[in-house]
Amino acid sequence: AQTVTQSQPEMSVQEAETVTLSCTYDTSENNYYLFWYKQPPSRQMILVIRQEAYKQQNATENRFSVNFQKAAKSFSLKISDSQLGDTAMYFCAFMKQAGGQNFVFGPGTRLSVLP
């Protein structure tokens, strides 16, 4: 079974600065997808960024980028130029590519962006 770990229950960052959220996972699969979701106080789950395991290039979406280390089973999220609207719970998620395509979510990191 797959597990996803987020070792930072809470983090804070000053507005306009950079913060990195960590995520590690455990799997015996070779092909899979990794995701970061954001859940603001509105409760709506929003996809931030995604990565296919076979791609060596790290995914980037505007101010959000990942550091994907497949051998280390690490998938950290970097938020640059943090904005007040980035305040939210951030969940790392794993999905196998084939069969049993359930998402496995990490416990989440609560990020507060301070003015």
Give the residue among 52, 30, 49, 31 at the shortest CA–CA distance from 90: 49
Please name the helix (run of DSSP H) or strand (run of DSSP E) that holds residue 85, with its range, or none.
none
The residue from 28, 41, 43, 115 that contacts other proteins (CB under 8 A) is 43
Binding track over 64-93 against other proteins, x by CB under 8 A: ---------------------------x-x
Counting contacts by CB under 8 A, is residue 11 touching other proteins? Answer: no
For residue 69, which amino acid is it?
Q
Q: How far is CA 20 from CA 47, 63, 98, 102, in A?
A: 17, 12, 30, 26
The residue from 28, 41, 42, 72 that contacts other proteins (CB under 8 A) is 42
- Contacting residues toward other proteins, per CB under 8 A: 33, 35, 42-45, 47, 50, 52, 91, 93, 95, 101-103, 105-108
